[in-house]
Chain A
Amino acid sequence: MKVLVPVKRVVDYNVKVRVKADNSGVDIANVKMSMNPFCEIAVEEAVRLKEKGAATEIVAVSAGVTQCQETLRNAMAIGADRGILIETDAELQPLAVAKLLKAIVDKEQPQLVILGKQAIDDDSNQTGQMLAALLNWGQATFASKVEIEGGAAKVTCEVDGGLETVLIKLPAIITTDLRLNEPRYATLPNIMKAKKKQLDIVKPADLGVDVTPRLTTLKVEEPPKRKGGVKVADVAALIDKLKNEAKVI
């Protein structure tokens, strides 16, 4: 079984981004970039499926600027077998990414695509579900456990109030939640090996996909700041503030 894993290059989760002074966006110049944490979990899950013998080949795919090659090398260092970069400087929105990925799926014919549930930059939480729709495949979102059983995947999903398990017929789409696994660190030998793995580059036009954005960002602003509060001396003072100042209890 071939598994495709789309990986996104995003601002590292430890960075607190700043809004640009002209409100045109956030400042990502000279900011540390990393693989989206949910995509790392997706790569790890694919590698585990391969280690268990359920998967035979793992193809990592990233859409974006030239530097996404680093993200793909990172995925290959974790254990992906090869990478595909859909190279473009254009702004990509989830629908466009889903269309690009569909074109890759049509070519590669994987049985399973594992994506992150959410990119931590745009916080969209859309691409996997959109790809499932475009392919007319089943989907299991926010997965915390995956088992491959014959021609289907049994997936435990995080839902309101707890967990829900569904069986999805392969080929299918899975999106990862945080507790699916803990991604391994790429070891130095694996990082070296990843440099030699195959990395193909295509352009959106080669795939026949129109990536024109449907949403225009008019402005990006700082959220309202909370004004700094006070420290209280003890529990009695806290109760007094909550009762008499904030009046919330």
Chain B
Amino acid sequence: MANLVIAEHDHGSLKAATLNVISAAVEIGGDVHVLIAGHNAKAAADAAAQVAGVSKVLLADGEAHAHRLPENAAAQIVAIASGYSHILAPATPYGKAVTPRVAALLDKAQISDIIKVVDADTFVRPIYAGNAYATVKSSDSVKVITVRGTAFGAAAKTGGSGAVETLAAVGDTALSSFVSSEIVKSERPELTAAKIVVSGGRGLGSGDKYREVLTPLADKLGAAMGASRAAVDAGYVPNDYQVGQTGKIVAPDLYVAIGVSGAIQHLAGMKDSKVIVAINKDPDAPIFSVADYGLVADLFEAVPELAAKL
């Protein structure tokens, strides 16, 4: 039995979520191979070979993978799929775009967003915005899986000694092409991997206030910054700040929810945090039902005071 992990990377290095997927693959058991489909991506392949638990890295380096288009990635994965019992990818926008395509081409079901490995055929996954956990057993010969990163520890970046094997990259399917990207570079830790997250909701009132009030606190705590959908919709922050059922899933050591009411869709994205703090002026806000420490206060007074006293 061997598992194929579809790496998410930027050609030069591995994205953190890949390390969690490798942990899930190790838990399933058997050899763990990692596929790097990229362009000039030798550095990412070398990084993958160092990761504890990885026995082989497959590097498919070619133009077709320069922009990580899902059509080309899926074609690459299907070309090497035989021999693998499990194909796993992170449940990130990239993994979610590619993996179902692979599953359908192989005529297999996909098991989305697993949070636990019961055995090689059986997995636990949240449904209904995390209001229920389903244990599902697959009858397929190949299990195609996406992994919720926060549910598995990150594999150690070093200690492995995998061999890097070069594959022929597939040609361009020419079904889609890359036009442009607007990626916001941030000095802050990545939201899904951060130890502390400071998150703001509609209570902040505007983008300017969001930044003015939350940045000093996030700076003091070395935190990543997140938001509710209402804050994103209102344009306070970009879309990739959104925490929740349909945004990012986070599970930091400390999650500070500020001016967030705590709708079930928001809770779905953060209720596995170790410690939750809520600051809200409404004592009945549902966020308090999941908060370890609740402070009923006007955030415009409490948050600057908190940042100052830390």
Chain A contacts to B: CB under 8 angstroms:
11, 13, 16-17, 19, 26, 38, 93-95, 98, 117-118, 120-134, 136-142, 144, 154, 157-169, 172, 177-179, 213-223, 226, 228-232, 234-236, 238-239, 241-242, 246, 248-249
Contact: A235 with B176, CB < 8 Å?
no
Report chain A residues within 8 Å CB of B196.
248-249
Q: Mark B89-119, 1 if CB is under 8 A from A, else 0.
A: 0001110111111111101111111000000
Report chain B residues within 8 Å CB of A139.
70-71, 97, 101, 175-176
Known: A162-B238, A238-B277. A120 touches B129 (CB 8 A): yes
Contact: B306 with A235, CB < 8 Å?
yes
Given A16-B264, A17-B128, A167-B179, 12 other A-B contacts at CB below 8 A? A94-B110, A123-B113, A129-B96, A129-B97, A133-B104, A139-B70, A139-B71, A141-B96, A165-B180, A166-B179, A167-B178, A216-B137
Contact: A121 with B104, CB < 8 Å?
no
Nearest B residue to A141 by beta-carbon distance?
A: B97
Contact: A238 with B103, CB < 8 Å?
no
Known: A216-B137, A246-B292. A165 touches B181 (CB 8 A): yes
Report chain B residues within 8 Å CB of A19.
131-132
Partner of B294, one of A136, A219, A229, A239: A229
Partner of A159, one of B93, B293, B297: B93
B276 touches A (CB below 8 Å): yes
Known: A215-B137, A248-B275. A220 touches B132 (CB 8 A): yes
CB distance from A102 to the nearest CB of B (A): 9
| Category for how many chain B residues contact A | 35 or more
Report chain A residues within 8 Å CB of B113.
123, 125
Chain B contacts to A: CB under 8 angstroms:
15, 69-71, 74, 92-94, 96-105, 107-113, 122, 126-140, 173-185, 196, 221, 229, 232-233, 238-240, 245-246, 253-254, 264-265, 271, 274-277, 283, 288-297, 302, 305-306, 309-310
Separation of A226 and B310 alpha carbons in the complex (Å):
27
Q: Which of B94, B103, B253, B309 has the most CB of A within 10 A?
A: B103
A-B contact pairs, 16 of them (CB 8 A): A17-B131, A93-B109, A125-B100, A129-B104, A139-B176, A154-B179, A160-B15, A162-B240, A163-B183, A164-B182, A165-B181, A215-B109, A226-B276, A229-B292, A235-B309, A248-B275
Contact: B133 with A223, CB < 8 Å?
yes
Partner of B309, one of A26, A230, A236: A236
CB distance from B190 to the nearest CB of A (A): 8
Nearest A residue to B90 by beta-carbon distance?
A: A160
Contact: A120 with B109, CB < 8 Å?
no
Main secondary structure of the interface of B (DSSP, over half): mixed
Contact: A160 with B92, CB < 8 Å?
yes
CB distance from A80 to the nearest CB of B (A): 23
Known: A16-B131, A158-B93, A231-B294. A124 touches B110 (CB 8 A): yes
Report chain B residues within 8 Å CB of A217.
134-136
Separation of A137 and B176 alpha carbons in the complex (Å):
9
Closest 8 pairs (CB-CB, A-B): A138-B175, A214-B109, A129-B100, A130-B104, A133-B104, A229-B292, A126-B100, A138-B176
Main secondary structure of the interface of A (DSSP, over half): mixed
Report chain B residues within 8 Å CB of A127.
100
Nearest A residue to B235 by beta-carbon distance?
A: A179
Partner of A123, one of B129, B176, B221: B129
Contact: A239 with B309, CB < 8 Å?
yes
Report chain B residues within 8 Å CB of A95.
103-104, 107-110
